Amino acid sequence: MITGEHKKHAGARLGLVAEWRSTLKADFAVNTRRVDRAVLTVWRLGQAAHDRPGRIARVVRRAYQVVDVVYVRSIMGAELPGSVRVGPGIRLPHSGRGVVLHPHSRLGAGVTLYHRATLGVRGSEVAPTVGDGVYIGSGAAILGPIHVADGAKVGANAVVIHDVPAGATAVGVPARILEKTPADA
């Protein structure tokens, strides 16, 4: 007999699947290579099952953990925890090779994250927050309880330890904000 409780759980599962598919569709629109899509599929699976109650979620989490260790971490060299919250349309050129994200990091929609980028902590367990449409170059490190605002750019190998304003460009070690010239306006 199907009770109201069973219908509620079935509806929650269908909502989860619909949300997962919708997010992957946005991700796939900006990641056309199969290997990039494989990494994103595994990562989004881990995100979908993270902190969800129930037997199915436990099975999905276990499958994610195995594939994450075998494929994403061992072969691709990336650490993309399922606990990281990421908006739709994230772009992972080079399949996220070498990308390391702190489990409490937050990334907005439409973020581009090049290989060997790191989002981590610095002296505390508070991780960075990245806004929508942010570009993070290869080898960049964004460290500590900081915010990289919407539309900002972080140059390759920059080490960001202070907030980056919206639309600004941060470069160097430690990163500094480039001033806009009249030609840039």
- CA dist 86 and 124 (Å) reads 21
Q: Report the pLDDT value the prediction gives residue 166, as an integer from 0 to 100.
A: 96
Chain segment 109-163, per-residue pLDDT in tens: 999 999 999 999 998 889 999 999 999 999 999 999 999 999 999 999 999 999 9
Task: Specify the CATH architecture of the domain 4-177.
Answer: 3 Solenoid (2.160)
Strands, E, within the chain: which ranges? 85-86, 100-101, 106-107, 112-113, 118-120, 129-130, 135-136, 141-143, 147-148, 153-154, 159-160, 169-171, 176-177
Stronger pLDDT, 19 or 133, i.e. the higher one: 133
Model pTM? 0.85
- The confidence score (pLDDT) of residue 49 equals 81
Q: What is the pLDDT of residues 47-103, one digit of tens each?
A: 888 887 888 878 888 888 898 888 888 888 899 998 999 999 999 999 889 999 999
Q: Where are the domains of the chain?
A: 4-177
Residue 183 confidence (pLDDT) above 70: no
Q: Cα separation of 185 and 183, whole Å?
A: 6
